[in-house]
């Protein structure tokens, strides 16, 4: 399909899908997905994947290296987070435009909740089937490498826990001593 044919087809649809409104739909959908991901993370349904690793992977993809044994073991690059966040939202906007284009091409109303939910669930499979595999974490992120990454994080949290709780323990002990000293014994 040439650009002219595409523009003619868009004019037949009555409106163009490439508008600022479409971009905002993509940004809002990505924010909604991020909020749901944080909620699922807090509830323990999913494990955390640091955005720095996503930025690192995207930088290496741009350099032509798509597959890795373990992205966490690859040398870090500068500005990994500055790569990950804009790319995350650019992918969200692109997926929204794909949805709007596909729904108008198929004649399905874009506000059809079943079509939108089906597309959203389908796009949520992309990281599980593509990105985790390319990062060296296997299908659905189930490989040994990812498990080891989380075990390291858990060990760090376990080591930090007692260190962070010591000041509170001292405060609690001091308060307990004061309470015991202020008790009035009635005989």
Please give the Cα distance from 138 to 134 (Å, whole number): 8
Q: Which domain holds residue 135?
A: 3-140
Do 124 and 149 fall into the same domain? no
Do 147 and 169 fall into the same domain? yes
User: What DSSP line would sit under 128-152, residue for residue?
Assistant: IIIIHHHHTS-GGG-SHHHHHHHHH
pLDDT of residue 127: 81
Do 169 and 101 fall into the same domain? no
* Phi, psi at 63, each rounded to 5°: -85, 0
Do 158 and 127 fall into the same domain? no
Do 11 and 88 fall into the same domain? yes
pLDDT of residue 11: 58
pLDDT of residue 165: 45
Q: How many CA atoms lie within 13 A of 127 on its CB side?
A: 17
pLDDT of residue 168: 46
Distances (CA, A) of 114 to 23, 26, 31, 48, 121: 21, 18, 20, 29, 11
User: What DSSP line would sit under 86-113, residue for residue?
Assistant: HHHHHHHHHHHHHHHHHHHHHT--TT-H
pTM exceeding 0.95: no
pLDDT of residue 59: 93
Nearest alpha-carbon partner for 151 in 37, 39, 81, 47: 47
Average pLDDT per block of 10 residues along the chain, 187 residues long: 61 61 86 87 78 91 88 90 93 90 86 88 82 78 58 51 48 49 48
């Amino acid at each position: 399909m040439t650009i002219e044919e595409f523009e003619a087809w868009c004019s037949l649809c009555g409106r163009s899908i490439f508008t600022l409104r479409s971009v905002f739909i993509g940004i809002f959908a990505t924010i909604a997905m991020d909020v749901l991901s944080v909620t699922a993370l807090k509830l323990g349904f999913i494990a955390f994947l640091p955005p720095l690793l996503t930025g690192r992977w995207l930088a290496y993809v741009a350099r032509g290296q798509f597959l890795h044994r373990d992205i966490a073991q690859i040398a870090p690059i500068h500005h990994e987070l500055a790569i990950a966040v804009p790319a995350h939202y650019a992918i969200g906007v692109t997926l929204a435009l794909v949805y709007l284009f596909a729904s108008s091409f198929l004649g399905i109303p874009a506000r059809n909740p079943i079509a939108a939910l089906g597309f959203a669930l389908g796009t949520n499979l992309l990281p599980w089937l593509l990105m985790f595999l390319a990062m060296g974490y296997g299908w659905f992120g189930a490989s040994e490498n990812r498990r080891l990454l989380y075990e390291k994080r858990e060990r760090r949290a376990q080591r930090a826990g007692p260190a962070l709780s010591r000041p509170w323990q001292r405060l609690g002990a001091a308060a307990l001593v004061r309470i015991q000293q202020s008790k009035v014994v009635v005989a």
